[in-house]
Amino acid sequence: MTVILGQLFTGVSIGAVLLLIALGLSLTFGQMNVINMAHGEFIMAGAYTTYVLQKSISSAGMSLLVALPVAFVVSGALGALLEWLLIRRLYLRPLDTLLVTWGVSLMLQQLARDIFGAPNVQTRAPDVLTGNITVVGGDDPLTFANSRLFILALAVAAVVALSLTLRLTPLGRRIRAVVQNRDLAEVSGISTARVDRTAFFIGSGLAGVAGVALTLVGPIGPTMGTNVIIDAFLVIVVGGIGQLRGSVIVAFVLGALQSVLEYSTTVSVAKVLVLVAIVAFLQWRPQGLYTLRTRSLV
Amino acid sequence: MAAGAAALAAVVALSACGAKTDAGGTSDKAAQADVGGDTVKVGLLNSLSGTMAISEVTVRDSLKLAIDEINASGGVLGKKIRPISEDGASDWPTFAEKASKLIREDRVAATFGCWTSASRKAVKPVFEKNKSLLFYPVQYEGLEQSPYIFYTGATTNQQIVPALDYLKSQGKKRIYLVGSDYVFPRTANKEIKAYAKANGMTVLGEDYAPLGSTEFSTIANKVKASKADAVFNTLNGDSNVAFFKEYKSAGLTAKGMPVVSVSIAEEEVKSIGAQYLAGQLTAWNYYQTTAGAANTKFVKAYKARYGKDKPTSDPMEAAYTSVYLWKAMVEKAQSFDPEKVKAASDGITFDAPEGKVTVDGATQHIYKTARIGRIGSDGLIEQVWDSGKPIKPDPYLKGYDWASGLS
């Protein structure tokens, strides 16, 4: 029984990590239709931000807390810069954004290698996050890792913040308007260029927050972004492009599926089976779990 | 349908042939080392980027130290050694490519490096085809012997078997195997299972994660549920960071369920974080704390060059030693020619930091002392057991009945 509960928690925590890395992408890819291959490198930027802060702030807990907003701003600024320099010229050619941002991602990786060195680095997790809490005691105790609970809380907070922003703020309304019909939004007096840049800032900033969370799980390295970017795209595509709700559900379903399959088979086999399941699902529902209904013609 | 299948088979067969002839260039002629002038070039082939860089950069540094020391004392056969460093990038095809480049373009007299068995297996045909020498400095799974490779790290009976003997002597009978998904852990675990069967030990489970993988929560859950006495860890590279973080988070401790690692040395301990590893066990042939004048000198020289806080480790020591062994072989042979060097290798000795080592010409491995250590909270490893004297290398485990079915 504790094994099942333990695995369930593992599934949820894998889902939380997936959700965090996919969340920013759901804004830039989902809402704005930009295939940003450099999203993974924004995650990396967030992770390295944590590493840099830890060098100057001795308390691991404090540096982690400071890293969250700082990483958001650093990665967000990188994203806004990328949007301003390159992507805004390519909104009518979404497939070209793939090539351009892929090039940018390679440059960012090399930049990280030049600044921080090729070997991966690690951060110290605050002591409170290296332990665990016992949920059920006894001979066969059920424990939840504190770091995973922290990531879960972070993912939930990020989803809530993003969804409230999109739903309740003027900025959110403008973003939704641009997504649903760019031309109509434009003639209604919305500065679409400004909305694009702000949305890119937020989406990339969320990648930075994901990067901070990933430092609690594993090492930080120039290629860490490439390792997670595929998972992020899978979550978005299966969830339905532009659908926050879809991303949330799919992230947790994939997490649960991954953990169940890993437990009953092996890690490598589980990865293959998850991909097979995704392919099968997309055969059945090519548009993903949810779809956006708009009045635009495309 | 049948015709289609036949055509497919033909394509597969053709592409397989292509792969074979491509390995290491198209000519069968041995590449000649360039030994004219007053320098002799050697290749350093290590991953300077990617998941293995955490480990392999230190090996490259250590090789450079040995080369500089030898150059300072007059070089080899009156020639200064000129190292050519290449990055294998934790990618096996890149290793083969760079090995070929070192031999055929740079025309090096010998190459030092590689860490993972996968990279060694990738370069092996290149060195054999070009009849050039590789000095491989890392412990490995055994069951291999190439006429063009000198193995200066431990083979199975100098590391894995002593580690199992130690676990057995401590009453740890029920073990769980965790490793990276490639040749070394899979082969090592085959050997461990054969040993366990013959020695009354039980293997409760074995799990592999892709090299570079950082998601270990399920594996930690499985290990925890197994209630094993000990874990035998053959993970490579910085997957270890994620694994030990998860191990601690799951509430598993070195006291309750110790992990014996065969790929974590001082450098990795430092970057994983000693707080995650304190109390865990390692099996190697050398630690920074190993006693002896040669080691004191080595540690001092390394720290003077690369920094006070840089630890020394087993593969670094084996790499350092390998350069000196090559020098001794060349001087005995009075030639840089790989065939003559090989012929001169048997019985060559060197007072290495790990103690006196001797080359076994028949297997091209070296006699090494096995050492089990416990990781301290300061990040250094304290020896808790050693084999007393250097063990004769036995890469094919011929001396063990239980290993008869392995290949």
Q: What is the mean pLDDT of residues B242-269?
A: 91
- The whole-number pLDDT of residue B10 equals 45
Percent of chain B exceeding pLDDT 90 equals 75
Tell which wins on pLDDT, B206 or A118: B206
Are A23 and A205 within 8 A, CB to CB? no
Query: In this model, does residue B243 exceed pLDDT 90?
Result: yes
Q: What is the mean pLDDT of residues A25-43?
A: 87
Query: In this model, does residue A182 exceed pLDDT 90?
Result: no
Chain A residues touching residue B207 (CB < 8 angstroms):
266-267
- The whole-number pLDDT of residue A7 equals 87
Q: What is the mean pLDDT of residues B207-230?
A: 91
pLDDT in tens, A111-170: 998 999 877 888 888 888 888 888 887 777 788 889 999 999 999 999 999 999 999 999
Chain A residues touching residue B251 (CB < 8 angstroms):
131-132, 134, 141, 143
Q: How confident is the model at residue A292 (pLDDT cuts 50, 70, 90)?
A: low
pLDDT in tens, B101-111: 999 999 999 99
- The whole-number pLDDT of residue B237 equals 81
Mean pLDDT of chain A: 89
pLDDT in tens, B371-406: 999 999 999 999 999 999 999 999 999 999 898 878
For an interface test with B, the pick among A8, A217, A228 (most B C-beta atoms closer than 10 Å) comes out as: A217
- The whole-number pLDDT of residue B8 equals 45
The answer for A33, left when phi > 0, alpha when psi is -120 to 50, beta otherwise, is left
Chain centroid to Cα B12, Å, comes to 33
Of B51, B250, B276, the CB nearest to A143: B250
Q: What is the mean pLDDT of residues B22-49?
A: 75
Q: Which long-range contacts (CB under 8 A, 24 or more apart) does B306-313 make?
A: B306/B61, B306/B65, B309/B270, B310/B58, B310/B267, B311/B266, B311/B267, B311/B269, B311/B270, B311/B379, B311/B380, B312/B62, B312/B266, B312/B288, B312/B353, B313/B58, B313/B265, B313/B266, B313/B267, B313/B268, B313/B284, B313/B286, B313/B287, B313/B288
Task: Decide if A124 and B273 are in contact by the 8 Å CB cutoff.
Answer: yes
| Residue B277 sits at the chain A interface (C-beta within 8 Å) | no
Among A118-132, B167-181, B330-344, the minimum mean pLDDT is found in A118-132
Query: In this model, does residue B93 exceed pLDDT 70?
Result: yes
Query: In this model, does residue B23 exceed pLDDT 80?
Result: no
- The whole-number pLDDT of residue A293 equals 62
E strand map for chain A? 132-136, 142-145
Tell which wins on pLDDT, B308 or B272: B308
**Highest mean pLDDT: which of A58-72, A128-142, B19-33?**
A58-72
Residue contacts between A and B (CB atoms, under 8 Å): 115
| Residue B161 sits at the chain A interface (C-beta within 8 Å) | no
Closest residue in B to A256 (Cα) is B218
- The whole-number pLDDT of residue A294 equals 56
- The whole-number pLDDT of residue B31 equals 65
Query: In this model, does residue B161 exceed pLDDT 70?
Result: yes
Measured in angstroms, the CA of A119 and the nearest CA of chain B are apart by: 5
Measured distance CA(A99)–CA(A39) in Å, rounded = 13
Q: How confident is the model at residue B3 (pLDDT cuts 50, 70, 90)?
A: very low
Mean pLDDT of chain B: 90
A40: part of which helix (H) or strand (E)? helix A39-56
Three-state SS letters, A186-211: HHCCCCHHHHHHHHHHHHHHHHHHHH
A172: part of which helix (H) or strand (E)? helix A170-180
Task: Decide if B57 and A118 are in contact by the 8 Å CB cutoff.
Answer: yes
Tell which wins on pLDDT, A137 or B203: B203
Tell which wins on pLDDT, B148 or A121: B148
Task: Decide if A267 and B54 are in contact by the 8 Å CB cutoff.
Answer: no
- The whole-number pLDDT of residue A4 equals 83
- The whole-number pLDDT of residue A93 equals 83
Percent of chain B exceeding pLDDT 70 equals 92
Strand, coil or helix: what is B35? Answer: coil
Strand, coil or helix: what is A165? Answer: helix
For an interface test with B, the pick among A5, A18, A122 (most B C-beta atoms closer than 10 Å) comes out as: A122
Of A118, A132, A258, the CB nearest to B49: A118
Measured distance CA(B3)–CA(A287) in Å, rounded = 38
Query: In this model, does residue B74 exceed pLDDT 70?
Result: yes
Other Cβ atoms closer than 10 A to A294: 12
Chain B from 210 to 229: CB within 8 A of any A CB: 210, 212-215, 217-219, 221-222, 224-225
- The whole-number pLDDT of residue B26 equals 44
Query: In this model, does residue B180 exceed pLDDT 80?
Result: yes
| Residue A10 sits at the chain B interface (C-beta within 8 Å) | yes
Among A33-37, B27-31, B222-226, the minimum mean pLDDT is found in B27-31
Measured distance CA(B117)–CA(A106) in Å, rounded = 28
List Cβ neighbours of A101 (8 Å cut-off, separation of 6 or more).
A34, A35, A36, A37, A38, A39, A82, A86, A87
Task: Decide if A267 and B181 are in contact by the 8 Å CB cutoff.
Answer: yes
Task: Decide if B249 and A7 are in contact by the 8 Å CB cutoff.
Answer: no
The answer for B13, left when phi > 0, alpha when psi is -120 to 50, beta otherwise, is alpha
| Residue B238 sits at the chain A interface (C-beta within 8 Å) | yes
Of A146, A227, A266, the CB nearest to B207: A266
pLDDT in tens, A14-24: 999 999 999 99
Measured in angstroms, the CA of B195 and the nearest CA of chain A are apart by: 23
- The whole-number pLDDT of residue B50 equals 81
Query: In this model, does residue B30 exceed pLDDT 90?
Result: no
Q: What is the mean pLDDT of residues B240-265?
A: 92
| Residue A141 sits at the chain B interface (C-beta within 8 Å) | yes
* Residue A191 C-beta-side C-alpha neighbours within 13 Å: 6
| Residue B249 sits at the chain A interface (C-beta within 8 Å) | yes
For an interface test with A, the pick among B90, B218, B243 (most A C-beta atoms closer than 10 Å) comes out as: B218
| Residue A119 sits at the chain B interface (C-beta within 8 Å) | yes
| β-sheet bridge partners, residue B81 | B40
- The whole-number pLDDT of residue A192 equals 87
Q: How confident is the model at residue B319 (pLDDT cuts 50, 70, 90)?
A: very high
Task: Decide if B212 and A267 are in contact by the 8 Å CB cutoff.
Answer: no
**Stated pTM of the model:** 0.82
Measured distance CA(A216)–CA(A122) in Å, rounded = 9
Chain centroid to Cα B299, Å, comes to 20
Q: What is the mean pLDDT of residues B174-200?
A: 94
Helices A170-180 and A192-214: crossing angle, nearest 10°? 110
Measured distance CA(A5)–CA(B310) in Å, rounded = 43
Closest residue in A to B226 (Cα) is A3
Closest residue in B to A143 (Cα) is B250
| Residue A122 sits at the chain B interface (C-beta within 8 Å) | yes
**Highest mean pLDDT: which of A175-179, B208-212, B354-358?**
B354-358
